[in-house]
Amino acid sequence: MNYKRGNRRGYKYQCLNCGFIGNKLESDFLKKTGCPVCCFPPRIVVHGINDVATTNPKLASIMDNIEDTYKYTECSDARVNWKCPNCGNIIKNKCICNIKKDGLFCPKCSGNISFAERLMYNLLIQLNIKFKYQYAPDWIKPKRYDFYIPSKQIIIEMDGDLGHGKYNPITKESKLDSSQKDKYKDNLAQEHNIEVIRIDCRNHNGMEQKFQYIKDSIIKSKLLDVIECNFIDWNILYEKSQKNIIKIISEYKKNNQNMSTYDIGNVFQMSPITIKKYLIIGNELNWCHYNKKERTLKQQNIGKLNCKKIICIDTNKIYNSILDASADTGIERRALGNCCNHRTKSSGGYRWMFYNEYIKQQGVA
């Protein structure tokens, strides 16, 4: 005996599991309370044994205050501040155990892309399958589907933790309403001869467990029966799915400054609108240079049309562009363009043609 508290006897001991040296009352030994350092949850934090910095350096690296990495364990419910490893944004007052379980979500640079969607995105890329991400045809707008594979007429929906037959605390959507919304989307897709495959991604455990859960859901689903998948490298998928897609796209834009959102969308199999949204975020975070007023390919083509010479066949007057003709006659540019593109026979009571086309026609005649 070498420890005493009042009249109660105690002993100095060393834990055979974690090596911690401490004092303990004899009555506590009889109660089999265990080591306060390596029990779960720990009752004492000891730097070098069970603090976050020691047991989980990756988690510690995104904690904003280095002192917190020594004060708490990785299963603590203490709320601390965090620093986004991608953009440096400070995310305040989040539980340590929750960040360990679900990962750090940064509202500034994440673009609301879930881990499940990143995983499926990278899976389809790995299998070299052509797809459309955030598919929103006119018949479903303003709603959207997660993924669409045109060659197979398949839609893939990654059903996460919110909605899908469960109460949604963010939108206040009831279980019935969220279930009916999924049914509505499924029925509408069926009407357009598209099959919907839903992947269950509802797992609240840590990131590795969540990945394993989604992986199992994919393997059990019909998806792998209808797409060619001789080999899937799940380890690479897990690694890539943890990366920030917005940062990857922004860096691509930085290295290919002259590429339009349309061209970049073809590379990443996303719509120009989605690419534009991500590049605006990337520009704000200095990951790339992007002017949100930058014209899309469609706008560039319209600009080229507006610069073409046109002729009024009835007056033989030649204009340098549709814009000039519109300014001179008061006829709308769209109406002039429709006439020059043979969509209408006349515009403003006159017949119009692109001048180079008119010259060729005159030469043939």
pLDDT single digits (tens) 12-51? 888 888 888 888 777 776 677 778 888 888 888 988 888 9
- Where are the domain boundaries for CATH 1.10.10.10 in the chain? 299-364
d(CA 207, CA 218): 16
At 279-318, the pLDDT tens digits run 999 999 999 999 877 655 555 555 555 578 999 999 999 9
Whether the pTM exceeds 0.85: the reply is: no
The pLDDT tens digits of the residues spanning 74-92 come to 888 899 999 998 888 999 9
d(CA 125, CA 268): 9
What length does the chain have? 365
Tell me the pLDDT tens digit for each residue of 172-206. Answer: 556 566 678 889 999 999 999 999 999 998 876 67
pLDDT value at residue 110: 79
Q: Give the DSSP letter string of 82-106.
A: EE-TTT-PEEEEEEHHHHHHH----
3-state SS of 15-46 is CCCCCCEEEEEHHHHHHCCCCCCCCCCCCCCC
d(CA 231, CA 26): 59
Pick one of 1.10.10.10, 3.90.550.10, 3.50.50.60, 3.90.1300.10 as the CATH number of 299-364: 1.10.10.10
Identify the bridge partners of residue 8 per DSSP, sorted by sequence position: 5
Residue type for position 176: L
Average pLDDT over residues 211-227: 91
- Of 247, 253, 259, 285, which is closest to residue 113 (Cα–Cα)? 247
| Strand, coil or helix: 263 | helix
Does the pLDDT of residue 328 top 50, yes or no? yes
Considering the segment(s) 115-243 as one domain, its CATH architecture is 3-Layer(aba) Sandwich (3.40)
HSE-CB of 117 using CA atoms within 13 angstroms: 20
Structure tokens at 226: 């209808």
Q: At what angle do helices 333-340 and 297-306 cross, to 10 degrees?
A: 80
Distance CA 113, CA 157 (A): 13
Angle between the N-to-C axes of helices 115-126 and 207-220, in degrees from 0 to 180, rounded to the nearest 10? 50
* Residue range(s) in the chain whose domain bears CATH number 3.40.960.10: 115-243
How high is the pLDDT of residue 167? Answer: 46
User: For residue 163, what pLDDT is reported?
Assistant: 46
- Map residue 49 onto helix, strand or coil: coil
pLDDT tens digits, residue range 122-173?
A: 999 999 999 999 898 889 988 899 999 999 999 999 987 654 545 455 455 5
